[in-house]
Structure 1
């Protein structure tokens, strides 16, 4: 490749996908490619796919069309979860040249000797059992925070989920590698690192195919907290049964870990939790929230919840709604159940009509707005530390406090990627929080 080629990336789905896209982009840079924005003309477009929701599947085709509109001669490659689950389906999409499965995506540059368009999409995918090795990754350059992957795959058998089919068994990075990556990130002047994985509380299992836990998640966060130069560490989604008291205690006393937890619930009905094959009941969830509130009253607690699971009656749904209404949590991520091929749930009786799913989803989203507002109101008058983001949004700069309150102030480029002590003063009409700088800390 004598003249420098251009590559563009589009990432669907989770923080884990963003971390992997960023690592793959660095591999392209090492091979002499220049990265450009997906809206610009490129020689190759790489789409990192997701298959958690039906919508993510549908979006793939429109993203391919978008790339072809910019450059009809460009080479289009698909990687990620959907590429592993349904490689042929993606290969059949008009304009797609290459589809790589779970083990091949990190070797993508090896497949690019010839960038001429293919008449048919070429598939290189593996049996998911072969995805038993670990590839570390992290995202830098895209944001003021980095996503650091520490774990991949999942050994759980939740009846609605395709992730084990798309990513394979639970396996983890070595402690040494995670610490090394964290240091590399911090050397780039990135202020916040978000730990990510498929099931991060399961960290330590399957280090390079070894199923023995060499280190635990508690070991990992304990060591990361000691790494100098990292201003903030944030734990992404963690299963309630894997969020131990010791981890909560560590976060409460931590130098760098912030008081923000995102804990999947999925249903407030024990009957539905059992049908989902979740590994806890609602009583444990109550206990986790209570423990966090006891040690960190100001902590932000986010919740994942699924509506419209097969067999979810109006009674089950109201059980979930009332459970969440009574719980001292801060916001919800609401997912409308969608049938996924090769899952147990797709074969279950008691299918909930789409109209009902949609209505339930709307009710919980409304509850989330109320919960977030109440949480923000509880924080008014308190002093917090804000990390400012890099985007100018209609004349405003946004940022997040350590406990995930979203704030805004008039755009000032000097604030980008800086931390400032502030006092939260009022909630604007758009639901975001205004503040006053605390002069002696902010140096304003």
Structure 2
């Protein structure tokens, strides 16, 4: 009964949480497997940002319950945001669940699994579903361990949990709680350990990562705690690149803008959530900025790094968004010139202010608006990648591509890159001359001068 499979839905934060749970279980003596059919315990780490994500997880749990009926000792657990959001409702809907653990109790999973295994081994009545959703002070500090992976080049580092914003459409403050920052020294120590293991690129994670430590640590020399943390990680030998996600536009004060100019390892790629390019819609969403302020941020970043790459999040079909509002948003979206975007069709989230707003937009209209933005994005992404043809780009080699005999890596601007290579290049920064491009990928040949091939 010691084989565990974890399936993760949703964002990079969820991926990081799953890795922490896996590391804790492994340390307890459990074996992590890559296939649910080989597992004695299946844990679903869930997402609540959109209804579709919840429905996928609920459907998966229902499917697994069929297996439990033929193997009563098989165990199913639901973790994370949906567990926190729906709580005991899941027990009523999915009575075969053994374990429901919220976002501040990931560290308790090994204890709960131990308890369940003992209960099943006693061969008594089926144990009652364990429901653990309580808030816990200091829980943000428990997401700190990593599973060693062969040739791991990139790693996520959670620096904070929770969100203090009140966006009208968003369930995250309910599922993740208030902002809670980890100690800066602890984060730096974690990155040192990753560097010693061969990790070259770090992505700092938080629900609003740019809010890191603003209530816990002082501003020093005009620099926020977040910028101070970036500078400390920049000094760690072995780390070549720094990224972060997901920020908020209000976090882009001058100190962070200037960090892109002054911190060599901070990559010239910004994920800057827009959500809407119409001030009326932004107000309805309770987003505390205007499109004019958003443009100022973009312009300030391009002033310090002219070739900056931008990605964003944007929602179509928010309640009350008229066709004229959307057209205004689409013009702004095209004018900014995003290189990548996550485009979401608005999804009702129970318990949010937007749930009861009037003038809900039809599914068909949301689909149409989604395609309009996808077309704009595809043209811009292809154009931007085509500008790289004939240039030489620095690529961090991540490993073999999924198909064929090629290798894959990313540029500092987060462009997916495909090239001929071999295993000894994994983890190295190489120069690639780009010879062709699609909207999502650039292709080329390596310029091998200076690469350590020993």
Q: TM-score, normalised by structure 2?
A: 0.89
Are 2:396 and 1:387 aligned? yes
- Contact 1:304–1:333 (CA<8 Å) still a contact in 2? yes
1:184-195 correspondence runs (5 A): 184-195=193-204
Q: 2:258 maps to what in 1?
A: 249
**Structure 2: unaligned runs, 5 residues or longer:** none
Report the CA distance shift for 1:70/1:291 in structure 2 as closer, same or farther (over 3 A): farther
Q: 1:419 maps to what in 2?
A: 429
After superposition, the C-alpha distances for 1:268-309 in whole angstroms (9 at most, x for unaligned) are: 000110111111111111011111211112221101100110
After superposition, the C-alpha distances for 1:201-258 in whole angstroms (9 at most, x for unaligned) are: 1100455xxx988962111112111122211111222111102222122122323211
SS at match of 2:199: coil
Are 2:340 and 1:338 aligned? no
Q: 2:381 maps to what in 1?
A: 372
SS at match of 1:46: strand
Q: State the shift of 1:66 in Å.
A: 5.6
- Which residue among 114, 117, 129 is the counterpart of 2:116? 114
How far apart, CA to CA, are the structure 2 residues paired with 1:335 and 1:132?
A: 33
Q: 1:93 maps to what in 2?
A: 94
How far apart, CA to CA, are the structure 2 residues paired with 1:69 and 1:231?
A: 47
**Structure 1: unaligned runs, 5 residues or longer:** none
Q: State the shift of 1:354 in Å.
A: 0.8
- Contact 2:99–2:130 (CA<8 Å) still a contact in 1? yes
How far apart, CA to CA, are the structure 2 residues paired with 1:305 and 1:246?
A: 26
After superposition, the C-alpha distances for 1:153-184 in whole angstroms (9 at most, x for unaligned) are: 01111010010000110110111011011111
1:23-422 correspondence runs (5 A): 23-65=20-62, 67=64, 72=71, 73-91=73-91, 92-93=93-94, 95-112=96-113, 113-115=115-117, 116=120, 118=126, 121-126=129-134, 133-138=139-144, 139-141=146-148, 144-205=153-214, 207=216, 216-395=225-404, 396-410=406-420, 412-422=422-432
After superposition, the C-alpha distances for 1:334-360 in whole angstroms (9 at most, x for unaligned) are: 011100011000011111011101111
How far apart, CA to CA, are the structure 2 residues paired with 1:391 and 1:90?
A: 40
Report the CA distance shift for 1:185/1:67 in structure 2 as closer, same or farther (over 3 A): farther
How far apart, CA to CA, are the structure 2 residues paired with 1:220 and 1:61?
A: 38
SS at match of 2:186: helix
After superposition, the C-alpha distances for 1:293-339 in whole angstroms (9 at most, x for unaligned) are: 11112221101100110000000100110001111331211011100
Report the CA distance shift for 1:140/1:246 in structure 2 as closer, same or farther (over 3 A): farther
How far apart, CA to CA, are the structure 2 residues paired with 1:314 and 1:69?
A: 45
Q: Give the stretch that moved more between structures: 275-284 or 39-48.
A: 39-48
Equivalent pairs, count: 435
- Contact 2:112–2:130 (CA<8 Å) still a contact in 1? no
How far apart, CA to CA, are the structure 2 residues paired with 1:299 and 1:424?
A: 18
After superposition, the C-alpha distances for 1:116-157 in whole angstroms (9 at most, x for unaligned) are: 39476332222x5x5675234255546531110001101111
- Contact 1:263–1:303 (CA<8 Å) still a contact in 2? yes
Q: State the shift of 1:442 in Å.
A: 3.1
After superposition, the C-alpha distances for 1:20-58 in whole angstroms (9 at most, x for unaligned) are: 111111111111111111344112111111100111101
- Contact 1:38–1:67 (CA<8 Å) still a contact in 2? no
How far apart, CA to CA, are the structure 1 residues paired with 2:116 and 2:344?
A: 41
- Contact 1:298–1:379 (CA<8 Å) still a contact in 2? no
Q: Give the stretch that moved more between structures: 226-235 or 337-346.
A: 226-235
Report the CA distance shift for 1:399/1:218 in structure 2 as closer, same or farther (over 3 A): same
RMSD value over aligned CA atoms?
2.4
Q: State the shift of 1:70 in Å.
A: 7.0
Q: Give the stretch that moved more between structures: 51-60 or 105-114.
A: 105-114
Report the CA distance shift for 1:212/1:52 in structure 2 as closer, same or farther (over 3 A): farther
How far apart, CA to CA, are the structure 1 residues paired with 2:319 and 2:138?
A: 32
SS at match of 1:389: strand
Q: 1:14 maps to what in 2?
A: 11
Q: TM-score, normalised by structure 1?
A: 0.91
- Contact 1:424–1:433 (CA<8 Å) still a contact in 2? yes
SS at match of 2:236: coil
After superposition, the C-alpha distances for 1:65-101 in whole angstroms (9 at most, x for unaligned) are: 5655777442111110110010223333254211012
- Contact 1:303–1:333 (CA<8 Å) still a contact in 2? yes
SS at match of 1:147: strand
